[in-house]
Amino acid sequence: MKKTVKKIQKYKPENKKIAALTAYDFYTAKYLDMAGIDLILVGDSAANVVLGYDSTTRITVDEMLIFTSAVARGTKEALVVADMPFMSYNVSVEQGLLNAAKFIARGADAVKIEGGSEYTFELVKRLTQSGIPVLAHLGFTPQYINTIGGNYIQGKDFDTTIQILNAAKNLEKAGAFAIVLELMPKEASKFISEKLNMPTIGIGAGSGCDGQILVINDLIGKFDEFSPKFARKYFDSKAMIIDCAKKYITDVQNGNFPNDEESFKLDDEELKNLENYK
């Protein structure tokens, strides 16, 4: 049965943890869905782990729409959330509404936006009033990396934790159905989680959140440019891919691929005709 925003919100009072992962293509989404994942985020992390950009700020709306369409087609039960890329919602509320609508039209169930400014509160309110659910995102916000100055942990003291909490409360009031908390001390994220009615989904924010999310390429060991402390690797895809490719190269060079069973054959009569041709 399809997981909706309302179902995801019920996890918190039921003390059930939300399990979320990113995906960027049809088959990964299909397999995560088969595994029973609750939420699939079509993350702007595709900029790094799929397209090879050096920053998430490089990816465009058009590129994200392609990934969103593929993931939506591969998903039957999980809630699909599309990441709104850098500057796709910052110019005006109207711009944000129009771009968010594109993602919903491509099959997303909700969109994710970063930040906790007065403008963001207004945008979240307008989006939810227009029928577009919003997953908020506070703590470390990658789209603001140039102003933050790097991948720095957020909420490291009382004052900044309270600032994040107040922003989260305003996002909740504006209509966000849940919030991602990224790169925060576990005590700070737990404190914030306990003060909110909406569920929190942590990434590098400890176990006190109401759920967790990881980038699928980190989970399966497919991305080797950077390995965050919080990203647990369950499989080494890189080693597997290299090993398979090496075996394939050897088999091709030795004439062991393709073998007889992997080849198509002519009928005996047609083969005889070829053999008798002069």
Please list the active-site residues: 182
Instruction: Quote the CA–CA distance of 157 and 41 in Å, as a whole number.
Output: 29
Identify the helix (H) or strand (E) that includes residue 134.
strand 134-139
Instruction: Quote the CA–CA distance of 124 and 134 in Å, as a whole number.
Output: 7
How long, in residues, is the chain?
Answer: 278
* Coil vs helix vs strand at 72: helix
Instruction: Quote the CA–CA distance of 230 and 5 in Å, as a whole number.
Output: 26
Residue type, 253: Q
User: Taking Cα atoms as reference points, which of 106, 78, 61, 77 lies closest to residue 22?
Assistant: 78
Instruction: Quote the CA–CA distance of 44 and 51 in Å, as a whole number.
Output: 10
Residue type, 86: F
Gap between the terminal Cα atoms of the chain: 66
Supply 109's token pair.
């169930």
Q: List, in order, residues 6 or more apart from 203 with CB less than 8 Å away.
A: 180, 181, 182, 183, 212, 213, 214, 230
- Residues of 184-193 as b/e, b for ≥16 C-beta within 10 angstroms? bbeebbbbbb
* Coil vs helix vs strand at 109: coil
29, 22 contact by CB (below 8 A): no
